[in-house]
Chains A and B, each alone.
Chain A
Amino acid sequence: MALPKYTETHYRIWHYIYLTICAAVFFFLIAPLFVIFPLSFNAEEFLVFSDGMKRLDPDAFSLRWYQDMIYGTKNPWGLAAKNSFIIAIFATIGSVLLGTVAALGLSSRHMPYKGLIMAVLISPMIVPLIISGVAIFFFMAKAGLAATHTGIVLAHIVLGTPFVVITVTATLSGFDHSVTRAAASLGSNPVNTFMKITLPLILPGVISGGLFAFVTSFDEVVVVLFLAGLENTTIPIQMWTGLREQLSPTILAVATCLIVLSTLILVTAELLRRRSERLRGINQ
């Protein structure tokens, strides 16, 4: 954003102040994440940069906390990771199936009571998690599903579907319905039309909704706190207990892995968004 040559001095100063403010805010947003990274390689047990680390002494760095994360017996990170992935994958499948089908109905201009139904379907995203947690806990306890994987998966489907509904309806808003009519006029049945025509076109939206659902489930702690027994522990539950008791460097090793994972998801989501915009002909 270069300024034109004729800009007066005080506007020039103001412009640099503005850029400095922006830089500070960006720093505030991103810098905290980068603190975790070096500290997870700390050879010592303390969560501060040791003198050795400041001098970049190779002996001050080690992989011992990663070792502890994988082989340590104190925290069941292995079980937690397994549970987290299983729950998140099933919750994602459930959310994507239910959410995509519902989004197809909601995007139809014949849909009755669209606003009201949309408001109900989105509500799990808006209602504070603590309230959702209490309500879902009462339900699962009655249904005998508390402290089971099934119960947690169902709860995460509730929390994940709003994201799928939002992203898929957004994708469908730019969808040219004449292509499905063309398919129908050429003798294709609705299921076939959906699989061969509609789905490939809305796939970016479906996948990015699925990513949201996955992250929501993978990162969710409030509802799981109410529902999980010892057997159903997840990564967020382990982190929560760890952070409440004592902040150990092993948690930072786990956190680093999670940041790497979220970077991968971010890149995928961005690529999908751009592809989707290109397909829908939105040029920026």
Chain B
Amino acid sequence: MSSENKQILTTDGIPLEVSLKKAEKKNKVKAFLLVAPLLLFIIITYVFPIGDMLMRSVDDKMVTEMLPKTYKSMETWDGEELPPEEVFEAFYFDFQKLIEEEREGKLSTQLNYTKNGFKSIIKKLRRKSKSFEEGNYKEQIMSVHKRWADVEYWRAIKRRAPAYTYQKYLKGMDMFENEKGEIVNVPEDRRVHRILWLRTLEIAFFVTVFCFLMAYPIAHLLATLPMKYSNLLMICVLLPFWTSLLVRTASWMILLQQQGIVNDFFVMIGLVSDDNRIEMMFNKTGSYVAMTQILLPFMVLPLYSVMKTISPSLMRAGKSLGGTPFIAFWKVYFPLTIPGIGAGCLLVFILAIGYYITPALVGGASGTLISNQIAFHMKSTLDWSFASAMGLMLLSGVLVIYWLYNKLVGIDNIKLG
């Protein structure tokens, strides 16, 4: 008998296998259509904009578009000696056009990013170029200022020719590309970002450790107490969790101030004298204390949900087999809680590394994190491409941890409340 005869048919004569596949496909499409609206919404309003950030962070078309003739004439220039007359001529015409459009200020800001000293010589060129005569632009431009006769500055202009750049990323790591195209560190006294990255990691790490040390005992207590007591104590964890972040930060600002209750207490027990109160706010201490308290519930909840599933008889078995309570705890209970520890630590670390509000309010200058720097460039210096680059550097770090979290815990296992 051939296999075809064996095939089971549905009532309308189609083989069951085909029919089943069709139904499965229909179900797949149905399920996908339910998810589609949200997915589309998130992709348009969230995923694409993050892609847009990536474009902004490497986009360097501004100068390229402002000096089109110059860059065309520079193509044959080797960069060894001063460029030939035609480059100067092209630059002169580009520059005249920018003056007409009143965009020469932008050019000077942009070129100044590449090499310091452009601002003043462009201003001077603008003034002097009004009285330029036709022809021999090289001589005329070079006579405006000695820097215009310096080949370094023309090389700096040429470096801005590509429409894309990774310089913002280098800047985020306190590095830059020098005249010879080598990537070097900025001078020691001007390194600000590396300190910030390290501090962000340090604060996130220690906040995670503090949260773990504090959360472990209370999660254990909550998981082992009878329901009617643990429900009551759970409120102590959940109330801060549901309370506004700004309210919690405000309460720390009251507690930690110099005339605040914590200092009052220290004076009362004689730890410090009244005229020598400790500064706990507007520095790292403020960031540590406030962030630990604010992120603590995110550590307690995953630990609690894991500990809840550990049967108390396991500990009893460990003890009855001759282990002391400490050994039973260390060999039996603790290993079982490791999934909860992983989940809690990763969650707290992810949240801490991108913290903005609390460090900005209680951190002062020495307790701010990389997020504060991003906000600073978005709001104050308006260097949005740099803010985007820093944001994406932070994001790539977070995504690595997110991926790890997904691997270890599974994203659909996040517990809320």
In the assembled complex, the Cα of A99 lies from the Cα of B37 at a distance in Å of 9
Minimal beta-carbon separation of B359 from chain A (angstroms) = 11
B residues in contact with A166, CB < 8 Å: 412, 414, 416
Cβ of A118 and Cβ of B412 under 8 Å apart?
A: yes
Any B CB within 8 A of the CB of A158: yes
- For B38, B56, B246, B350, which residue has the most chain A Cβ atoms within 10 angstroms? B38
Any A CB within 8 A of the CB of B251: yes
What residue in chain B is nearest A128 (Cβ atoms)? B354
In the assembled complex, the Cα of A111 lies from the Cα of B29 at a distance in Å of 8
What residue in chain B is nearest A173 (Cβ atoms)? B412
Cβ of B235 and Cβ of A120 under 8 Å apart?
A: no
Cβ of A135 and Cβ of B50 under 8 Å apart?
A: yes
Cβ of B246 and Cβ of A262 under 8 Å apart?
A: no
Minimal beta-carbon separation of A207 from chain B (angstroms) = 13
Cβ of A239 and Cβ of B250 under 8 Å apart?
A: yes
* Secondary structure of the A contact surface, majority rule: helix
A residues in contact with B246, CB < 8 Å: 219, 221, 236, 239-240, 243, 255
Any B CB within 8 A of the CB of A92: no
Cβ of B395 and Cβ of A128 under 8 Å apart?
A: yes
* Secondary structure of the B contact surface, majority rule: helix
Annotate B244-262 by CB proximity to A: 1 below 8 A, 0 otherwise. 1111111111110101110
**A158-B42, A270-B238 given as contacts; is B398 within 8 A of A219 (CB)?**
no
In the assembled complex, the Cα of A188 lies from the Cα of B296 at a distance in Å of 48
In the assembled complex, the Cα of A175 lies from the Cα of B111 at a distance in Å of 63
Minimal beta-carbon separation of B369 from chain A (angstroms) = 9
Cβ of B28 and Cβ of A128 under 8 Å apart?
A: no
What residue in chain B is nearest A101 (Cβ atoms)? B34
- For B27, B240, B252, which residue has the most chain A Cβ atoms within 10 angstroms? B240
User: Which of B76-84, B98-106, B121-129, B386-394 is near enough to bind chain A?
Assistant: B386-394
What residue in chain B is nearest A154 (Cβ atoms)? B45
Q: Which of A61-106 contact B (CB under 8 A)?
A: 98-99, 101-102, 104-106
Any B CB within 8 A of the CB of A41: no
Cβ of B33 and Cβ of A221 under 8 Å apart?
A: no
B residues in contact with A259, CB < 8 Å: 243, 247
Any A CB within 8 A of the CB of B35: yes
Minimal beta-carbon separation of A85 from chain B (angstroms) = 14
Minimal beta-carbon separation of B303 from chain A (angstroms) = 12
Cβ of A29 and Cβ of B296 under 8 Å apart?
A: yes
Any A CB within 8 A of the CB of B1: no
What residue in chain A is nearest B36 (Cβ atoms)? A105
Minimal beta-carbon separation of B176 from chain A (angstroms) = 23
In the assembled complex, the Cα of A101 lies from the Cα of B34 at a distance in Å of 6
In the assembled complex, the Cα of A117 lies from the Cα of B43 at a distance in Å of 11
Minimal beta-carbon separation of B179 from chain A (angstroms) = 32
Kindly list the 7 A-B residue pairs having the minimum CB-CB distance in the complex, ordered from nearest. Answer: A128-B354, A105-B34, A105-B35, A135-B49, A108-B31, A102-B38, A110-B27
26 A-B pairs (CB sep. < 8 Å): A1-B225, A22-B218, A25-B218, A29-B296, A30-B236, A33-B239, A36-B250, A39-B254, A101-B37, A110-B31, A118-B411, A119-B402, A123-B42, A130-B391, A132-B46, A134-B384, A134-B388, A135-B50, A138-B53, A166-B414, A222-B357, A226-B378, A239-B246, A244-B360, A252-B250, A270-B417
Binding site for B on A (CB under 8 A): 1, 11, 18-19, 21-22, 25-26, 28-30, 32-33, 35-36, 39, 46-49, 98-99, 101-102, 104-106, 108, 110-112, 115, 117-124, 126-132, 134-139, 142, 154-155, 157-158, 161, 163, 165-167, 169, 208, 212, 215, 218-219, 221-222, 225-226, 236, 239-240, 243-244, 247, 251-252, 255, 258-259, 262-263, 265-266, 269-270, 273, 284
